[in-house]
A and B are shown apart, each in its own frame.
Chain A
Amino acid sequence: MIGEDDVRYVAKLARLRLEQDEIARMTSELGKILSHIDKMGELDTTGVPPTAHVLDVANVTRADKPSESLPRAEALRNAPAVSDDCFRVPKMG
């Protein structure tokens, strides 16, 4: 079963700041989701290969041929801030 410490840890990895009441709510909601997954675990999957993808498709690739990139102004349009034609972000420690 998932505990509040697990929620705090996952929130930290996801860079989410959760208040105490949110942690309590998440612990309960995530717990329900996980117990549903546990329920599926009761199915007998002997002989069923692990499937990470629902499509029975392989080898979707492309040739190594350049295609057009975005104009820089367009690319930078979503930047929170711009400096010297770059996306400007807070300095990392």
Chain B
Amino acid sequence: MSAWEPVIGLEMHVELDTRTKMFCGCAVTKGDDPNSHTCPVCLAHPGALPVVNQRAIEYAARIALALHCTVQPRNIFHRKNYFYPDLPKAYQISQYDEPLATEGWFDYWVDGETLRCRINRVHMEEDAAKLIHAGGDAGRIAGSDYSMVDFNRGGTPLVEIVTEPDIPSPEAARELLQQLRNLVVELGVSECNMEEGQIRWDANVSVRPEGSTGLGTRTELKNMNSFRYLQQALDAEIPRQIEVLEAGGTIALETLHFDPGTGTTTPLRSKEEAHDYRYFPEPDLVPLVIDPVWVEGLRATQPELPAARVQRFTGQYGLSRADAVVLGSSASMAGFYEEVVAAGAAAKPAANWTMGEYLAHLNAAGLEAGHGHVTAERLAKLVKLVEGGTVSTSSGKEVFALMIEERAEPEAVVEKHGLGQISDAPELETAVARVIAGNPAQVEQYRGGKQQVLGFLVGQVMKATGGRANPQLVNELLRAALDG
């Protein structure tokens, strides 16, 4: 049986954080009362005309530039026709064969390796309204099931990013989306809040004999909004396709739904729902002619993006590439790390503490960098205490945990809990003498020439002092006592 390899392509939809909608002046808001931000345009009243939001073009172009796409000198809008209650016009204004931007690429990291995914296009469109499904509960008369439509979201500016089928694994797909999300957040054009559905994506997946270059028939996984589900869905769909093909079957071009409960993919009614969107140029909107000078102005004012920052971290702070990726690929983590360094901690130990204890704390508490219970200044103080020998490395970890528990400064924790490193010879000599007296056999071995036993004895002294003894001093004192 030959081996198979998956080929994955993604489409990501991002709601832009503009103040107003794509084609009308209604405010874009979250959590307001239903249908409080609507007007004749976004409710599709007859005769109402759309006008393009200038800021939405800018934000979309910023995304396109960050993905190395060519912003097209001329682009137009199309109508994508379909009937659904969340779409009052019965068409979505989108872009089709003359989109805002085409042909770019995105470099992302998987296990420290850089992969490149080509970007097919970046285009603008409008979001649909929100449907709330209700009814059907006990006590209701038959046929009372209904849906409710809140048009506040209807018409929100959306950018769609379409990749080429360049992604080699479910894990890579998840990494790409996470890193692409970071990129968009850092551009300042969307918060990409996942819980509010500000980003959603579709995945196209097919399999082919390993090493071949053609593409197999793909299936589409629609409207996912969790990184984990995306990976799980692909992990389920790829073996399904391989199984079908190995049994001599063929893959149907269809849209699938992933059920996280059962971990399986099942087809949405494919034939009936065969989409024929009958795209045609939107007669209500005139073409956009993009001034190249304006594009260059945007390019010159792009913020520092993750790839550039990772590069800078390796140079400026002398970090390994792997460490620079952990610390530099998201703005929040990078910002925190740079604050720790700016507060006086040395770059390398600051990196170790940020990636070690601090990141573990964030993960355990489910918090984003900068929102943990240890500030950058406090972490910098702790790093300095450890580097200066006031606190041992192992006690430092305890201090860190107590800083969170007590929301306290490291010095206060060290003082209160007596966690300072013991570098006082008379104090340690007592402990050393006790360990020598308590381990006669090992002392005998050491004196008999087995030097490595010293490590065991140092460990005993460390244990007796709760990890606070200065290990180097213990070493010296033990040698002096045993050799003398």
A residues apposed to B, CB below 8 Å = 13, 15, 52-53, 55, 57-70, 72, 75-76, 78, 81, 83-92
Contacts and interface: CB of A to CB of B under 8 A. Distances in A.
B53 A86 contact: no
Contacts of B85: 87, 89, 92
Nearest to B81: A13
Interface string B141-166: 00001111111000000000000000
Contacts of B40: 70
Interface stretch (B28-36, B177-185, B448-456): B28-36
A91 B147 contact: yes
Given A13-B276, A53-B286, A66-B20, A61 B146 contact: no
B55 A64 contact: yes
Given A86-B132, A90-B147, A67 B43 contact: no
Given A59-B286, A67-B26, A91-B133, 5 more contacts: A13-B81, A62-B54, A65-B19, A86-B35, A91-B136
A13 B51 CA distance: 28
Nearest to A90: B146
Nearest to B74: A58
Interface of B: 18-20, 24-27, 33-40, 43, 45, 51-57, 74, 76, 81, 83-85, 131-136, 145-151, 276, 278, 281, 283, 285-289
5 contacts: A13-B81, A60-B286, A61-B52, A69-B37, A83-B148
A70 B25 CA distance: 11
B27 A69 contact: yes
Nearest to A83: B148
Given A65-B25, A67-B26, A89 B56 contact: no
Contacts of A90: 146-147
B84 A92 contact: yes
Contact of B38 (A13, A59, A75): A75
Contacts of A87: 35, 85, 148-149, 151
Contact of B131 (A67, A75, A92): A92
A13 B278 contact: yes
Contacts of A58: 74, 286-289
Give the 4 A-B CB pairs with smallest separation, nearest first.
A67-B25, A86-B148, A52-B281, A64-B55
B52 A75 contact: no
Contacts of B18: 64
A14 B222 CA distance: 23
A69 B39 contact: yes
A90 B37 CA distance: 23
B27 A63 contact: no
B76 A52 contact: yes
B142 to A, nearest CB: 13
Contacts of B133: 91
A63 B56 CA distance: 10
Nearest to A63: B54
A64 B38 contact: no
A60 B285 contact: yes
Contacts of B146: 81, 83, 88-91
Contacts of A13: 81, 276, 278
Contacts of B150: 85-86
